[in-house]
Structure 1
Amino acid sequence: MKDKKLVINRIAVSTFFFVNGFLYANWTSRLPELQRFYGLNNAQLGTVLFCIALGSMASMPFAGWLGSRFGSDKIVKIVALLFCISIPMVALSQNEWLIRLCFFFLGAASGAMDVTMNGQAVLVERLWGKIIFSSFHAIFSIGMALGAAVGGLFSNFQVSLQTHLNIIGIFGILPILWASTKLIRDHIHEPVVATNNLKTDNFLAFKTILPFGIIAFCCMTGEGAMVDWSAIFMNTVVNQSELISAWAFGIFGVSMTIGRIFGDYFTLKLGKQKLMLIDALLAIFGLGIALFFVSVWSTFLGFFLVGLGLSTIVPIVFSSAGNLKNISPSAGISMATSIGYTGFFIGPPAIGFLAETFGLRLGLGFVLGLFVMMAIVLLRISEKED
């Protein structure tokens, strides 16, 4: 039986993952309404969503440095509270420049929270003594699925956007305040790489992470596309109600949760490379179904398979990056997330521009191409290991 204190540590870190997913899914599930509230077309919405990318990309390397310098336990509690505060801000104004600023702040807080809470997850996994990293991302996915369901209910009962986001912002703060007192103390003043040849070893660390970063980029572009465009796809392409559209996103979240719940088991059973290759093929097949057979049920099935396929790739990549020798978890994860989250945040705006010009089906076809690229990279990695 595990030490009680360590169990509490695991619950506390899981709380950060849950709150992050729950809050993020709440506002994204109402993105069609937010788009109308802003009065933006797909291309303009893509530009606004790009501000999330800018904020996140600016904050993640900085968060990694702060986590290494002062401890991820100290930084994650600050950025998590900032993230909770940022959620109600997205519906404060219809001024396009103020919207951009709010989304930049949201992206910065979200990106910093991702880096530091994953750093805490690595520390818990090390002390736990077995592979449990996927379970944290399962908790995140549970939060996403429940957040999408709650967002759909708020929409169905026609609760105003601002009231809805104010309520969930406050809801997020309360568990974060508790969890902040139960974290594992990270080592501070830890150099990024503890050797005499800092530049060389940093380059070697980056070179080691790069192939997995490319995989994460392709995977997280797909995940970001599902988060930001699945509801809009069901609403505008399949011509369904806002409630059904929110459920489309919820189906994706549920399948991500299922995959991550069993992710640690299948990682041990199949090995990291083989599992990620199977995941990539599931994502290709699922998105293909959704794009080529446009109906409610084919979209539900397709999004379910995409979620199942993407579920364990990112946890495997982040766990590997956080356990590199002679590098702090926050610094290693910062390198992986800076590559991977580029896709998560830049992909959806790019899809917005493609959707405005060619239609949303072809816009998401870009993601399908990235899934194929991901499978090719995984095949090459597997060949090298063989």
Structure 2
Amino acid sequence: MINGFIYANWIARLPRVQEIYHLDNQSLGLVLLFVSMGAISSMPFTGWLIQKSSSRTITLCGAIAFCALVPFIPLLPEVWQVRILFYFVGVSAGLLDVAMNAQAVLVEQKFKKPIMSSFHALFSVGMMLGAGSGALFAKFAISLFGHLLSVVLGCFVLVLFAAHYLIRDQPQESTEEEGAGFRLPSKALLGIGVIAFCGMTGEGAIADWSSNYMENIAHADEALAPLALAAFSLAMTVGRLLGDRVREKLGDKTLLLYSGFISFIGLGIALAFPVPYLIIVGFLIVGFGLATVVPITYSIAGNAPGLPPGVGLSMVTTVGYAGFLFGPPVIGFLADWQNLRIALFFIAVLFALMTFLSFRSKL
């Protein structure tokens, strides 16, 4: 929840970041690229760090670093310094993502039934609250630094509270068969990783560009613009709260197939009818579609036979987060070449690919 809340707060204010640093869409895409580069560079090694330390320790280190770095976003004098900052924001986010999901796998194994989607619902709760918070801070014209600082101070307290309840797993000595935590994905996990790639690229694109799409394409005012992200996050929350029961009933393959189709339809509405309230409805539908994609892929990876949870998760999250690596610059380039509406058709193509891959999978 903390992760989603902080993330949505600064993502909802990206138009303000553009103003501060005088960035066009392509330049903003390149800045966001550094977040993904940081995450991609840390994720392959996080499994190894978890084995040497523990998922609890890495979770706390990632959360504290993430909170500490975000308030500096509006304070730097040069764009190149912002890129470096965003890189380390990505490193901390990558550590946190893998480690906290490794914790979630440990809990899921104790429960002996699917509950990963419920954990991810809390991320979506944080996203929804963060988008609403961003809209309020924008409405009352609070400075971006004051906004982000007040948000992370509250989250530091929550991190300290959560630390007492994490599973105290122990460092593991890797066997020769297990090898190091850094590995290339196996063939089976690669397919799951590509599905995660499509879903996470779409999720990141809507988080990064929904406010811009509302302001620049639909001409919504600054206070209304973040509500598209809030609607998306609300649907993700509801979908993930219901996702575990639906997953037990339908199975992974069928649910992933439906997810891709619903996501495609929702984005199609937002692109075909660039009117603020129809965009909000479209992104709401996309949220329902994408809700269970990442939890399912993470759960499969974390429970892969013969691999510690952190190692399997490192493989799939690295492939999945490659979507965050390529997504921002591709969308930024297409947006400047044509417009943001045309650029988001790229995401619709990925949703179609995700549907096809889910149909062909052997889950």
User: Is 1:174 the equivalent of 2:157?
Assistant: yes
Q: Distance in 1 between matches of 2:59 and 2:326?
A: 24
Alpha-carbon distance in 2 for matches of 1:27, 1:196: 42
CA distance in 2, matches of 1:277, 1:354: 28
Change (3 A) 1:196 1:112: closer
Partner of 1:71: 54
Instruction: Specify the code of the residue in structure 2 equivalent to 1:337.
Output: T
Contact 2:36–2:322 (Cα < 8 Å) also in 1: yes
The one-letter code matched in structure 1 to 2:89 is: L
Q: For residues 245 and 197 of structure 1, what CA distance do their matches in structure 2 show?
A: 48
State the 1:359 CA deviation.
0.7
Shift of 1:198: 5.5
Name the CA distance, whole Å, in 1 between partners of 2:297 and 2:51.
19
Q: 1:346 offset after TM fit, Å?
A: 2.6
Match of 2:315 in 1: 335
- Which amino acid is 1:257 matched to? T
Q: Is the 8 A contact 1:52 1:108 kept in 2?
A: yes
Alpha-carbon shift at residue 44 of structure 1 (Å): 0.7
Q: For 1:102-156, what per-residue CA distance to the aligned partner results, in whole angstroms no more than 9, with x for missing partners? A: 1111111111100000000000111122211100000000000000001100110
Aligned residues: 361
Q: What is the match of residue 354 of structure 1?
A: 334
Matched, 1:212 2:192: yes
Q: Provide the C-alpha distance between the structure 1 equivalents of 2:311 and 2:190, rounded to a whole number of angstroms.
A: 14
Residue of structure 2 equivalent to 1:53? 36
The within-5 A match list for 1:232-271 is 232-271=212-251
Residue in structure 2 matching 1:275, options 252, 255, 262: 255
Q: Which residue of 2 aligns with 1:11?
A: none
TM-score normalised to the size of structure 1? Answer: 0.91
Give yes or no for the alignment of 1:97 onto 2:77.
no
SS in structure 2 opposite 1:262? Answer: helix
Give the whole-Å Cα distance in 1 for the aligned partners of 2:144 and 2:72.
11
Take 1:70 and 1:207, find their aligned partners in 2: how far apart are those partners?
Answer: 28
Q: How many percent identity over aligned positions? A: 43
Determine if the alignment matches structure 1 residue 307 to structure 2 residue 290. Answer: no
Q: Which of 278, 297, 302 is the matching residue for 1:322? A: 302
For residue 344 of structure 1, give the secondary structure of its aligned residue in structure 2.
Answer: helix
Give, as a single letter, the amino acid of the residue that structure 2 aligns with 1:142.
V
Local SS of the residue matching 1:245: coil
Stretches of structure 2 that go unaligned for 5 or more consecutive residues are none
Deviation at 1:197, TM superposition (A): 8.3
Partners of 1:198 and 1:25 lie apart in 2 by 37
How many angstroms does 1:303 deviate by? 0.4
Match of 1:229 in 2: 209
Pair 38,184 (structure 1): closer, same or farther in 2 beyond 3 Å: same
Shift of 1:175: 0.9
In the superposition, the TM-score normalised over structure 2's length comes to 0.96
Offset at 1:173? 0.8
Q: Deviations over 1:265-294 (max 9, x none)?
A: 100011111011101000000101111111
Separation (CA, whole Å) in 1 of partners of 2:151 and 2:210: 21
SS in 1 for 2:274: coil
- Unaligned stretches of 5+ in structure 1? 1-17
RMSD: 1.4
Q: Which 4+ residue blocks in structure 1 deviate beyond 4 angstroms?
A: 194-199
